[in-house]
Amino acid sequence: MFIHPLSVFSVLASGIINCLAATPLEPRWDDVRTKHAWGAVPEHWETLGHPAAGTTIDLHIALEPQRKNAVIDALYEVSYPRSPKYGAHLSSEQLADIVAPHPDTLTLVNSWLKHHGVHPSSVSRSHGGGWLTVADVSMSQANSILGASYQLYRHAKTNETAIRTISYGLPVELHSHVKSVAPTTYFSSPGMLRHTPRLRRWAGTLGRGLSRRDDIESVTPSFLRWLYKTEGYEPAAIDRNKLGVAGFIGDSPSPLDLRLFMTAYRTDAVTATFNVFLINGGRYDPNTPSVEGNIDIQYTGAMAFPTPLTYYSTGSEAGTDPYLSWLNFMLSLDDNELPRTISTSYGGFEETLPPDLAESVCELYAQLGVRGVSVLFSTGDFGVGHDCTDSSGNIRFRVMFPASCPWVTSVGGTMDYPEVAASLSGGGFSNLFSRPAYQGRAVPTYLENLGSRYDGLYNANGRGIPDISAQAHQCVFVHRVEDYTGKGTSIAVPIAAGIVSLLNDYRLSKGRTPLGFLNYWLYDFGIANLGLNDIISGSNPGCNTDGFTASTGWDPVTGLGTLDFVELIHEL
């Protein structure tokens, strides 16, 4: 196993402050208006007072691009099957051209930072100049730059600590130039990001489970490969295709558990292994593996073997948001280093994110799609939500981010055979992101049939999730040499990602480009009921309701359905 201790912030230092001219008239940097604020300290967090003397953080500043919506326009062009540019994914250099900020934006931001005593050597650029990182900012300087009051906070349930502020602002001059700054008001605990499956020790015999159409005692890779019709396919582009798994908060997979899992459930894959990259203080300890790390590696590996598999473990040094750290690293990779499919089993309820940060992070996922990467996220295990009373005392359904980002493919859960919706399957409608164009036909059809039921509990104009589903119940895995079964969409997403990786393998083996962002393609064929198994039974209760119901076509329980590999390769 080869471990690369790489830092997410290994980007070229830039002399952006020295090389740009000052503005003719100095703006009023003291005229600060709020960019985002919470009315109170977010639930479950408590302040511990000021951070220790000498504490510093890195500030990440997202800048408005010169060509607004250029990334989303490019994503459509390379992802929509009927576009003349379909599959013509952009290189990192081409992407940099379309995300670059206007020179006036850089001039203003440089002047602002200089006004607050930021030295040019502390500033670096990434994502084509679309983001600036200001390193080693003291607490007093951060408070001055952002009109903030940074404190050390502790999460009451996890005991994790974070340096955050409940509000921050920007000079009026910069509101149209700066999209977001982090870390500021995002309070989600790293430990709460994980969609850890619910598990139990399995009393059955190791290696024995559902392999075809027997009574469902447990779900195994052989059953999944039969169900989704991948068992007859031999990957032929393993020299060009890679499959990635995103890991956070110290989750680690075990090579020993992987070998035991394959020995029991996929004997032709006992040689399966994986590489590990450590990002921004990420940790990897195979001697103390986590349930999440093991499941993600075992199911991606079992579905896509012998496709090269990489585990990306991301930490949160310098107070950095782990999603930003991971995205910064991935987008810095050369085209031949990028995995073509990525499975991610983490997320948090949407309303815990500042909208400006959610939008900035979501666009970075779109940039991965433009580069030709298929990114899949689990939708969570709470149906339409839990703890659903908002600050005004009203009940509202809740969805997970980043699954709710329109530029990723969100994965819900099914169970049994014939498949029905798993009741835990997270699904619903975003309150942050409007309905994307690719859902313009599928979602309104469902809402028309739903009628007035649940009016006021969800955003009928929001992006609907999930997009697709996979088995998420009674799935076997090995953890610390013991056999278990688990359930959750964090099992469904590595299964789906494994299938997508095989689809990418097929395209690459035929001399074509990878699929990249999937949803334009999926909805184009899903509406026509091509290549997907429509799930028409089951529901996802939550918030003291019965939740939504699976039905013909797209639904906010199982999306368009589960993937039929054999049928889908005919659409490639």
Q: Tell me: is residue 356 an annotated ligand-binding position.
A: no
Active site residue 490: yes
Strands 374-378 and 409-415: parallel
- Other C-beta atoms within 10 Å of 351: how many? 16
Cis peptide bond N-terminal to 418, omega within 30: yes
Question: What would the two tokens of residue 498 be?
Answer: 């494994």
Residue 284: phi, psi to the nearest 5? -145, 115
Expressed in percent and rounded to 5, the helix, strand and coil fractions of the chain are 30, 25, 45
Torsion of CA 111, 114, 115, 117, to 10 degrees: 170
Active site residue 292: yes
CA-closest candidate to residue 184, choices 35, 46, 29, 51: 35
- Other C-beta atoms within 10 Å of 554: how many? 28
Strands 167-171 and 178-182: unpaired
Q: Tell me: is residue 390 an annotated ligand-binding position.
A: no
Question: What would the two tokens of residue 537 be?
Answer: 């039974």
What is residue 101's DSSP assignment?
B
Q: Tell me: is residue 553 an annotated ligand-binding position.
A: yes
Catalytic entry in 58, 251, 257, 296: 296
Residue 293 half-sphere exposure, CB side, CA atoms within 13 Å?
A: 27
Q: Tell me: is residue 3 an annotated ligand-binding position.
A: no
CA-closest candidate to residue 245, choices 279, 219, 221, 280: 279
Taking the C-alpha atoms of residue 156 and residue 551, their distance in angstroms, rounded to an integer, is: 40
- According to the 3-state scheme, what is the secondary structure of 316-341? CHHHCCHHHHHHHHHHHCCCCCCCCE
Cβ burial, residue 258 (10 Å; 0-12/13-18/19+) = buried
Cis peptide bond N-terminal to 221, omega within 30: no
Q: Are 196 and 292 in contact (CB under 8 A)?
A: yes
Close Cβ partners of 100 (under 8 Å, ≥ 6 residues apart): 65, 66, 128, 129, 130
Query: What length is written for the chain?
Result: 572
CA-closest candidate to residue 480, choices 288, 313, 297: 288
Sheet with strand 475-479: strands edge to edge: 198-201, 482-487, 475-479
Catalytic entry in 58, 251, 257, 292: 292
Residue 134: phi, psi to the nearest 5? -105, 110
Active site residue 296: yes
Catalytic entry in 490, 501, 539, 551: 490
Max CA separation in the chain (angstroms)? 77
Question: What would the two tokens of residue 141 be?
Answer: 């300087």
| DSSP H or E segment with residue 146 | helix 139-146
Where in the sequence numbering do the catalytic residues fall?
A: 292, 296, 490
Residues flagged as binding site for Ca(2+): 534-535, 553, 555
Binding residue ranges: 534-535, 553, 555
